[in-house]
Amino acid sequence: MLKRSFIMLMLTASIGACAQAARVQSSGALDDASITARVKTVLLNDTQVAATKIDVVSNQGVVTLSGSVKSKSDEARAMDLARRVQGVRDVRSQLQVSSIPQS
């Protein structure tokens, strides 16, 4: 009887975990949130790009960068760094090159 109860408990837990995984995969929200966080982290860890001026949004693996950067080369670097993040399918830039010094 104890063995049967244990098997039922494990089966119930497995079904619940599979259902949760299916909801997460179908919505993509969790994946997009983690992609956004990983891209932002990569940008913040880069010494060349002023990432505090860059906003990151991800939708179905497509990352959009917006905000301001110091130069076109910083824009290109930010896009390149974002493309390297696992799960990113494409990167779009809405970044503005600002001639005003950033602090």
C-alpha angle 54/86/33, rounded to 5°? 55
- Compute the Cα dihedral for 21, 25, 27, 32 and give only its sign: positive
Q: Which pLDDT belongs to residue 21? A: 46
What are the residue boundaries of the structural domains of the chain, listed by start? Answer: 28-97
pLDDT band at 19 (very low <50, low <70, confident <90, very high): very low
- Which residues on neighbouring strands pair with residue 97, listed in sequence order? 69
Q: Which pLDDT belongs to residue 52? A: 86
Cα dist. 6→2, 19, 20, 93 in Å?
A: 6, 20, 21, 53
14-18, 19-23, 40-44, 99-103: least confident range: 19-23
Answer yes or no: CATH 3.30.1340.30 is held by domain 28-97: yes
Q: Which pLDDT belongs to residue 35? A: 96
Q: Which pLDDT belongs to residue 44? A: 94
Q: With a threshold of 0.85, does the pTM exceed it?
A: no
CA 10 centroid distance within chain: 32
Could you give the dihedral angle defined by the CA atoms of residues 73, 77, 79 and 83, in that order, rounded to the nearest 10 degrees?
150
Phi, psi dihedral angles at 72 (to 5 degrees): -60, -35
| pLDDT per position as a tens digit, 48-103 | 998 889 999 999 999 999 999 999 999 999 999 999 999 999 999 999 998 765 55
